[in-house]
């Protein structure tokens, strides 16, 4: 074989090549790959937790309103029915907000000089409606019909929680699609007698006495039921 210097014609050195990387490099590489994988999993897990946290969903966060209206006082203590203020909840997709004259029906006689209620009196004088801040804000691409749920026997507290115990109003659930589907998959867990829809203290009977578990109606799981 003809050689040129230290290299053979085949291009292979006659002498062993020096080791460029230390032997510990193999261990470092394995640890680095495992660490990178662990980091990706940790970031994904933290992102999922943040996505479902009140910081993103605003669940359990009371929003500032023009008037600090207390459901605990009006519903829990005074026993005012939901439909007194939310007049369209049984007949329309939206529950509706009370007109100023509904508030003034009482507050033209009681607490007439309360500074807290000045926005109500100003609204009555000017005709400008009170600008309430929406608490339960379903995305525009999702359709939610209050009248359909009320007619089906879904109680107010199923979605809104024990609002009769809230001094200020907040949402109690995430309003994520997964939350909706949990109910749609097994609606029998949430359906109550029609007469008990507005009863905040109602609780389902024991499983042995309640309706038998059954498959949800097919249309409840169709995409176009909520996305139209």
Q: What is the pLDDT of residues 85-94, one digit of tens each?
A: 999 999 999 9
* 213 has a pLDDT exceeding 70: no
Q: Could you write out the DSSP letters of every residue in the chain?
A: --EETTEETTS-BSSPPPP-S-THHHHHHHHHHHHHHHHHHHHHHHHHHHHTSHHHH-BT-PPP-SS---HIIIIIIT---HHHH-TTTTTSSS-----HHHHHHHHTTSSTT-GGGHHHHHHHHH-PPP-PPPSS---TTS---HHHHHHTTB-HHHHH-SGGG-SS--B-S---HHHHHHHHHSGGGTB--GGGTT-TT--PPPTTTSPPP-PPPGGGG-HHHH--
CA 41-42-43 angle, 5° bins: 90
* 174 has a pLDDT exceeding 80: yes
Q: What is the pLDDT of residues 116-151, one digit of tens each?
A: 999 999 999 999 999 999 999 998 999 999 999 999
Residue 225 tokens read as: 């039921």
**Predicted model pTM:** 0.74
Q: What are phi and psi of 220, to 5 degrees?
A: -70, -20
């Amino acid at each position: 074989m003809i050689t040129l210097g230290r290299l053979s014609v085949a291009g292979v050195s006659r002498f062993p090549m020096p080791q460029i990387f230390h032997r510990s490099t193999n261990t470092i590489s394995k640890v680095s790959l495992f660490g990178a994988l662990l980091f990706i999993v940790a970031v994904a897990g933290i992102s999922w937790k943040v996505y479902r946290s009140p910081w993103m969903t605003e669940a359990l966060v009371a929003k500032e309103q023009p008037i600090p209206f207390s459901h605990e006082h009006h519903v829990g203590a005074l026993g005012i029915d939901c439909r007194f203020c939310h007049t369209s909840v049984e007949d329309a997709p939206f529950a509706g907000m009370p007109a100023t004259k509904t508030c003034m029906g009482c507050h033209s006689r009681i607490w007439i000089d309360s500074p807290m209620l000045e926005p109500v009196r100003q609204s009555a004088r000017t005709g400008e409606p009170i600008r309430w801040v929406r608490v339960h804000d379903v995305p525009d691409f999702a359709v939610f019909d209050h009248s359909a749920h009320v007619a089906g026997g879904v109680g107010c507290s199923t979605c809104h929680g024990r609002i009769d115990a809230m001094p200020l109003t907040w949402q109690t659930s995430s309003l994520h699609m997964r939350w909706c589907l949990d109910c749609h998959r097994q609606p029998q867990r949430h359906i109550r007698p029609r007469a008990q829809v507005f009863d905040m203290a109602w609780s389902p009977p024991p499983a042995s006495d309640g309706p038998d578990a059954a498959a949800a109606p097919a249309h409840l799981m169709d995409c176009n039921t909520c996305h139209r």
